Amino acid sequence: MKTFPENFLWGGALAANQVEGAYLADGKGLSTSDVQPKGVFGEVVERVAGDSGIKDVAIDFYHRYPQDIELFAEMGFSCLRVSIAWTRIFPQGDEQQPNDAGLAFYDRLFDELASHHITPLVTLSHYEMPWGLVKQYGGWGNRKVISCFERYARTVFNRYQHKVKLWLTFNEINMSLHAPMTGVGLPETSSKAQVYQAIHHQLVASALAVKACHEIIPDAKIGNMLLGGLVYPLTCKPEDVFRALQENHSWQFFGDVQCRGVYPGYMRRLFRDKGIELDITPEDLEALKSTVDFVSFSYYMTGCVTTDEEHNKQARGNILSMVPNPHLASSEWGWQIDPIGLRTLLNELWDRYQKPLFIVENGLGAKDHVNADGSIQDDYRISYLNDHLVQVREAIEDGVEMMGYTCWGPIDLVSASKAELSKRYGFIYVDRDDNGNGTLNRSRKKSFYWYKEVIASKGATLKE
């Protein structure tokens, strides 16, 4: 009977801006997420008194976290991935002193997790940054933001050094290439050169945070977080195979810098070919040598690429402009389902970096139906997660070193892409709809009990 390692961490993953609500409570400032009420691909809307968005309350985790953590503990979680809202700590981003009320909230949150023996995995910046840094300095395009982030990172490392031993720097850092406002605080109309300069500043800031974490919390581990955007060639034509290599380089680049400490040759060539000249100082190059301890990533789907422009025209406009794979089924939202792709990705990342891997997001967004008796029979979610976890177990058998698995949205939350509550991921149902109506009451889905059994059996109950 195949099982997962004894020290494997089981749990779920959340983001502050998608669950907490209380968007201006206790001195919190506005974030880029707050001014994008329609999600990461939505336009920026300046907030005025009286207007509201779905994320302003979200699922009210800010006030209901003890109840939610108790449910996670009932499932047997040994780990919960959360993020700290940067604007709860530094409301505008450039203050010299932190907001005590914001710091105190996360003290309470981490203490609650500890009382249930759940290890926190904490992301420093998950799809949000202080809106003040965008308005005042132009976001990550301005080198000054590096020092603002380092001050924030050092503040929370010092504050929570005895409570948090697992950290991540930036969520899905490569998403900046597709959603620059969400990733680096730049307008969607920014040039590639502007985006890559902002990304460079963010990579330096990430490395400085790694260095600070090692100094302040010597027994901690800090990793990066990639959007695992694995693509296949649509055909075996050499041109398609090489195009797939290039497309995979576009996201692997971020991991290469964070794991190896230098810019890879293929990116230096890209910059030369595109006429992109970045402002990179000797101090930047020295900072980048502080590399991460482990690699974490999200995995939802794969896609294909080709040199055939007719296929490419049809693909433009989907989330990553990938050509659909004719051999795969798709979810209600058009995301292709590829469990074996997860095993492939795990092997590729392990071979590439030889650093422990942590799957910190994976899951199925779907419309759940509440039956007359209150039950939710989400067998489709169980099937999706079962098939992916079987492939994780196979990757471990392949020799891949794994730290853990935190499925995305163990409790229903506001989706990042379009700020919907109808796109549900959770084992726990939250009674709230896209218009903000509902009681916010929590209830267990069928998958709640399934995941509880998987964790208790260390994966032995998974079906091949």
Say how many Å lie between the first and final Cα of the chain, rounded.
Answer: 11
What span, in angstroms and rounded, lies between the C-alpha atoms of 299 and 338?
10
Q: How far is CA 59 from CA 19, 212, 370, in A?
A: 5, 33, 18
- Sequential DSSP letters for 89-154: HSSSS--SS--HHHHHHHHHHHHHHHHTT-EEEEEEESS--BHHHHHHH-GGGSTHHHHHHHHHHH
Q: How far apart are CA 195 and CA 181, in angstroms?
A: 10
CB 342 within 8 A of CB 407: no
- Within 130-281, residue ranges assigned H as helices are 131-137, 144-160, 180-184, 192-216, 238-260, 265-274
CB 308, CB 292: distance < 8 Å: no
Nearest to 223 by CA among 264, 173, 184, 182: 173
Distance between CA atoms of 440 and 54, rounded to whole angstroms?
13
CA–CA distance, 413 with 166 (Å, rounded to integer): 23
Sign for the pseudo-dihedral over CA of 212, 289, 257, 299: negative
Give the span between the Cα atoms of 394 and 400, in whole angstroms: 9
Q: Which of 247, 361, 394, 420 is catalytic?
A: 361
Q: How far apart are CA 278 and CA 197, in angstroms?
A: 6
Q: Which of 172, 247, 394, 420 is catalytic?
A: 172
CA dist., res. 107 & res. 349, Å (int)? 34
Told to judge if 361 belongs to the known catalytic residues of this protein, a careful annotator would answer yes
How do strand 442-444 and strand 9-13 relate by DSSP bridges?
A: unpaired
* Cβ–Cβ under 8 Å, residues 126 and 16: yes
Q: Give the catalytic positions in this structure.
A: 172, 361
